[in-house]
Structure 1
């Protein structure tokens, strides 16, 4: 089998690229021939250094690095991206059996759907966010700091000032969304597009939004690339950790405030617009981005729990899964997909994303015996059914078998999405 994986970058700029790269490696290790096509030039992650992986760069520019007017135009529809992608696919020495798209908004644009629809191979899209249905991609109202309850592209959605930047940005994203849906319906009207959901919660929200479209739906966990080792001793730590981008929608500020209220230190690994605000909270330490091995060592040495208190309906934050795999308790938002992997009160806590609820959970983490019990149970439960790269690759192969006719794929019914 030959699988083509498409994404924006060959290095993990975010969760989508991280999963795309790890998927390529896992498939290659399983004996699948993989071509990874990425839009933007740049260094490649070492995981892509495998004899079974061919890497193709389209030499595009990240639209975030363009002047605003040009980035807006190319973000809506990039003819150059379409031309280069079509040429790259035509130049492959072996015809792809399946095409798998992970991210397109930063370089490939919705034009990618038009190109993929013209290929003979079936197409899958992993939904790491809500961009296939929601204009701002996170189904979150930045104007009210709450998850959205509006139907995407409804009159209420069109009128809402929900974009994190401005109404002008919202207008551009609305146009992109309409163009994207038109390209999908026009291109995939006679064959289904496979959608891969990374959590039960995100599937439950997205499937009704996309009801009646040319889609069939699958659930596959993201891979967690953590080697099995002895469980950590979280009771030896002094802090609650947040790993990722420091934004309000991800709840970084909630961790700092709640930890301070509970009398614990807080440790922030990553960066983002709230970095200086976090440093101003007593007991908070910001260490910046670190390599994965450094992050794991730091968490094992310093941390009593990892927290992911997302205000938005996060699909599946990997840091929670990585903490559980290491035997570190996790505290997740009841809005996030990661909460599905936590046994509340047994391997961590699932709470509302507010300071009071988090402070109460963090306060319980001051009990050494409880923290050790939570950590041991987290490690045991995770490794009883680990979300390894091999497990992920096997699930992808099962999906691809269904898409290519080796197994029967579900039917779909075409109707309007909006």
Structure 2
């Protein structure tokens, strides 16, 4: 059996949790005898090897001629490039791990047109939420129902419009946006006036994807529920939670210049506003005398995040307790994490894992995290971590103070940590799913024949 995995990006580009998941899954299934190829969007089409994995890149043009490429069926040229890879590799299964302009409905249909089975994993809220967070007005958890007016006004609000203006924009008939699109109007106010039409287009693409793929993998319960809420048959959804790819370390790696009397905090992940590293920095900064060290290991995943990284450096400037550091090499991750008192996960959006929670638990380190989405599903509040109000600097400051005042709390939480599910378990789930899909396809072909 050959499987082609298609993530948002891949090494040597800066990667996030999805790409770590894809690489780990590829390696585990390869070890089980499957032929595996990773195909990812890139600036140009090429092929190379990454640590024993075959990687193909397919070019996605930089230029966007029509906004409907972003909101709808995706880039046609990128889909054609992927089609060439499929013709060359002849896979049995295509496993999609993103839904973007490059990894699109058009791309999925290239696989379906060749009779290839397609599995889709819902990794982030950006799949179905145009705002990208599944937080209504940026604050309240949304149930994820695809509703043109509600999603349009929330998207406009996320782009910086006042709530009252966003509500007005959400009531514009889509016909207005379609007419403006035919006239070539885009950018600024024109995009706002077109938003209901663009969101309608996006929702049609999301519904088509969910209907046309053969199987859907939900990484957590809230994703399963969202999919059912939007009409996906429960039999098509497979709940398979994240797994951690590293073993429990036996010895912690000492931190340079660390004072044992200080509370040691680590943040791992993309330096992106949705991940909330600024919340941690602000919380530490609000308590200038607090004996705490906060190390933020991360990188911006694209050029668009450079401004946010500059903001983080500005917030941390002059505070020797806060360090912005490069990502930890994966083979050292467990050893480095073991030296910390806890890992901070201050996300502002609904996570489907996140993987960092499992990595922390594998290293025997408790979590302080937002009471949102997958974090709240994985962390047992008061047992192996502490869940606090999302996007609240005050709540984070109070929790840091609490840990400094009661250092025994860290050890109490450590003792209750259970070793997490692994990527070995995930690979078992996926191989079984692939085999069931191929068996069903064979039956359907025989029946049709």
TM-score category (smaller protein): 0.7 to 0.9
**2:85 corresponding residue in structure 1:** 88
Q: 1:13 aligns with which of 12, 15, 27?
A: 15
Matched, 1:268 2:305: no
Q: Aligned partners of 2:153 and 2:202: how far apart in 1?
A: 20
Cα deviation for residue 145 of structure 1 reads 4.7
Cα pair distance change 1:288/1:126, threshold 3 Å: same
Compute the displacement of 1:96 (Å): 2.6
Aligned mate of 1:279, from 316, 320, 343: 316
When Rg is computed on C-alpha atoms for both structures, the one with the higher figure is 2
Q: Tell me how far apart the structure 1 counterparts of residues 190 and 138 of structure 2 sit (CA, whole Å).
A: 18
Q: Does 1:392 align with 2:413?
A: no
Corresponding residue number in structure 1 for 2:438: 404
Q: How many residues align structurally?
A: 390
Q: For the structure 1 residues 389 and 109, does the alpha-carbon distance in structure 2 shift closer, same or farther, using more than 3 Å as the test?
A: same
Indicate the residue corresponding to 1:414 in structure 2: none
- Is the counterpart of residue 221 in structure 1 residue 246 in structure 2? no
* CA distance in structure 1 between the aligned counterparts of 2:264 and 2:279, rounded to whole angstroms: 14
Hey, what does 1:412 align to over in structure 2? none
1:195 aligns with 2:216: yes
1:251-308 deviation per Cα after TM superposition (whole angstroms, max 9, x unaligned): 222222333456233221114504224314843222243433455444333x211111
Cα RMSD of the aligned pairs, angstroms, is: 3.6
Within 5 Å, give how 1:369-384 maps onto structure 2. Answer: 369-378=408-417, 381-382=418-419
Aligned to 1:346, what secondary structure does the other structure show?
coil
Q: Taking structure 1 as reference, are residues 267 and 222 closer, same or farther at Cα in structure 2, changes over 3 Å only? A: same
In structure 1, C-alpha distance between the alignment counterparts of 2:441 and 2:345, rounded to whole Å: 38
SS in 2 for 1:39: strand
Q: Does 2:118 correspond to 1:123? A: yes
Shift of 1:198: 1.1
Q: Counterpart of 1:415? A: none
Return the TM-score normalized by structure 2: 0.75
Cα gap change, 1:152 to 1:400, in 2 (>3 Å): same
**Residue 159 of structure 1: aligned partner:** 153
TM-score w.r.t. the length of structure 1 is: 0.80
Cα distance in 2 for partners of 1:29, 1:294 equals: 22
SS of the equivalent of 1:126 reads: strand
Residues 140-171 of structure 1: CA deviation (Å, up to 9, x unaligned): 35x64554467434222223313457776778
Give the Cα–Cα distance (whole angstroms) in 2 for the partners of residues 188 and 205 of structure 1: 12
State whether residues 41 and 103 of structure 2, in contact with CA within 8 Å, keep that contact through their aligned partners in structure 1.
Answer: yes
**How far apart, CA to CA, are the structure 2 residues paired with 1:304 and 1:377?**
14
The DSSP-based 3-state class of the residue aligned with 1:224 is: coil
Corresponding residue SS for 1:162: helix
The secondary structure found in structure 2 opposite 1:228 is coil
Determine the structure 1 residue equivalent to 2:182. Answer: none
* 1:364 alignment counterpart: 402
Q: Is contact 2:125-2:350 (8 Å) kept?
A: no
User: CA deviation digits over 1:344-383, x for unaligned, max 9?
Assistant: 11211112122333233323322333212322332xx12x
Return the alpha-carbon distance in structure 1 between the equivalents of residues 317 and 360 of structure 2.
26
Describe the SS at the equivalent of 2:130.
coil
1:34 is paired with a residue of what secondary structure? strand
**SS at structure 2 position matched to 1:10:** coil
- Which residue does the alignment assign to 2:129? 134
C-alpha distance in structure 2 between counterparts of 1:102 and 1:245, whole Å: 17
**Match among 87, 90, 99 for residue 94 of structure 2:** 99
Partner residue in 1 for 2:180: none
One of 242, 246, 249 as aligned partner of 2:271: 246
Match of 1:413 in 2: none
Unaligned 5+ runs, structure 2? 161-187, 300-304, 444-449
Rounded to whole Å, the distance in 2 between the matches of 1:239 and 1:37 is: 39
Show structure 1 runs of 5+ residues with no match: 410-418
Task: Indicate the larger mover: 193-202 or 274-283.
Answer: 274-283
What SS does the corresponding residue of 2:297 show, helix, strand or coil?
A: strand
* CA apart distance, 1:121: 2.6
Distance 2:227 2:107 in 1: 21
User: What is the aligned partner in structure 2 of residue 36 from structure 1?
Assistant: 38
Conserved 8 A contact 2:148-2:200: no
Greater per-residue helix proportion:
2
8 Å contact from structure 1 (residues 124, 193) kept in 2: yes
- Aligned-pair CA distance for 1:315: 1.8
